[in-house]
Every structure is written in C-alpha cells, then in structure tokens.
A = this chain, B = another copy of it.
Amino acid sequence: MRKLYLAGAGNVSKNLLSLISNLNSDIKIMGIENSRGQLFSEESLSMADINNFMKSPEDYRKSLNISKMDFDIYVDMRTASKNGERERDDYINLMKNGKHIVTANKSGLANFFPEIGKASSEFDKKLYFEATVAGGLPVFSLIRSSFPSFTVDSFTGVVNLTSNFVMKKVNDGMNLEEAKRKAMEEGVAETDMTDDLDGTDSARKAVIIANSLFHKPMRLKDLKYSGIDENNIKKNEMLLAKISMNKEFSVESRVFTLNSEDPFLRLAPMGMACSIGFKERNPVYISEDMDGPLETAGAVLSDILSV
C-alpha cells in the first residue's frame, strides 16, 4: 500500500488525482493541503472528500504537525518558495519521521540538494524528483530503469519552455512583447516570467542534474548562469543546461549558438528535449513536442510507483 499526502492542489495535483483514479493500484490518498486549508483522514480520502476540499479549502483548518500523520509518501506539488528553505526543512523533517519524498517543486533541491540528499541517505528514505527538470519528459526514471549499468557523463537539455518559446517566436519574426504575450496566451509562461528569461529556472535544473546524475554537491548560489539577451536574440540560439564530466566537470546554463543541423533547433516551440551521454555507451536523445500539467503529473506518478 502506498499512502500519499498531497501538498499543493493546483493543476498538477488535479491531473495526478485523475490519473490515480484511472489506475488500478495500491495508492491511497490520506491527506491533501494547499495554502488555504488541509484535509487528512486515518482511513484515506474518497474522491468526493477531495472534491469538497478542492471547492472550499478554507473550510478545512490546517493542522500543526503532518510529520506525525500516518502516510508513506509526501508529494510536493506546491508553488516553489523563493529560497527553498521551507522545502529543505519540510523534507528533512519528514524523512526523519519515516516519510519518502516525491517532488515536482524544484526550489528545495536547487538550493539545498546536498543537505536534502544527505537526509535521504541518513534516514534511508526515497527522494524522487522526475518532474523537477523536464516536466513530463523522463530523465531520472529513464536512466534508473533503462541504463542501470552505465555512467552518465554528459547532459544537455532544453529545460526551460518559456525562454526557448520566446526566442523561437522572435526568430520567426515576432517582436519581443508579442512573443512574451503569446507565451502567456499559450499557457507556456506565468505572468511573471523573470525567472525563466533571466536563466534562473534553467540554472536550478542544471544544479539538480549536477547533484543527482553527476554526484557533485552544489547549490544554485554556486553557479554563474545567464539568461536570454532580450534585445539581441539571434538565429540558432537556445537556452540550454549543459553538464559534463569529460575530463573536467563543468556545469553551464546559458544561451548557446548551435550548429544549424542540431536536433534541438527542430524542436517544437513548446517542446522539451535532452541528450544524455554515457561513459560506456552511445548517447540517447529524448524529446516531446508539448509538455503540460498532465505530463508533469505522469512524471510524479511514475515516481510514486517507484517508491
């Protein structure tokens, strides 16, 4: 039996609930919370309970200490905090109290991966985060399941939708403001796309990859990164996260000028892609033309089922 506590009740959470209800599995939802309220039951929640909570979460008062509640997996689908401290404290406390962590929220890991990873080893609890780097495009589960005997030695990824969408539209002839508006209209970007365009989002993902696939303890503050130069977008440019271990270890997250034959340049405007290189075998390329909350929820569910 997998007893879940869902933190966050937005689009990813709603899609996850719908996937779970269509799946024949041993999953039970014990609790759910968002910023306004919290619902928990020792007996597990029905979909009707959850729907009532979703309608008016403020009717359900927040309890104090979730780490003492009876569940196995804490599923973090909350809005990221700015500095990741809340996530760090929550995860460490939860793992100490016997809970596994599955997260789609990258803030804690980007800022405190070394501390959180250490707690995962120390308390022997799983820490899965498929959805933090490329939404619903598999990276960690792919490596874990399909390449267990190989060592990753390079990763190059188109991991930020908004900036690459904006760059592509500008290269296709739109002006910058139109391209940004289009990104919002298409649901690619939030109203505030600062973190996307200044490169912070891609950098967070690079840091998570460096820690997890390359075992290099580092934090967002250790990385010099840059975003797109809004008034000087050029052809064949893309914002990429690039980590490699060929001879020396290096992590970059910035705009690269690509060879015109590079498959990344042929990616759809709302696509995600990455190329994963290995010490022993030939590299693998994986992409999708479109990513959204359903795809991300699928990644969260694959993590839950791997615990």
Contact = CB atoms under 8 A, between A and B. Distances in A.
Interface of A: 19-20, 22-23, 130, 136-138, 141-142, 144-150, 261, 263, 266, 280-292, 294-295, 298-299, 301-302, 305-306
Contacts of A299: 146
Given A138-B142, A142-B142, A266-B263, A149 B23 contact: yes
A301 B288 CA distance: 27
B145 A302 contact: yes
A305 B142 contact: no
Contacts of A302: 145-149
A301 B137 contact: no
> How many copies of this kind of chain does the complex include?
2
A136 B292 CA distance: 29
Contact of A298 (B22, B149, B289, B298): B149
Closest 8 CB pairs of A and B: A138-B146, A145-B145, A282-B290, A141-B146, A19-B149, A286-B286, A141-B145, A149-B301
Given A136-B281, A147-B298, 12 more contacts: A136-B282, A138-B147, A141-B145, A141-B146, A145-B302, A147-B302, A149-B301, A261-B266, A282-B289, A283-B289, A284-B287, A284-B288
Contacts of A283: 288-289
Nearest to A291: B282
Contacts of A149: 19-20, 22-23, 298, 301-302
A287 B288 contact: no
A262 B28 CA distance: 43
Nearest to A268: B282
A285 B288 contact: yes
A263 B286 CA distance: 12
Contacts of A281: 136, 294-295, 298
Contacts of A305: 148
A113 B266 CA distance: 38
A289 B263 CA distance: 12
A286 B149 CA distance: 19
B295 A288 contact: no
Nearest to A139: B146
A286 B285 contact: yes
A285 B148 CA distance: 21
A287 B144 CA distance: 18
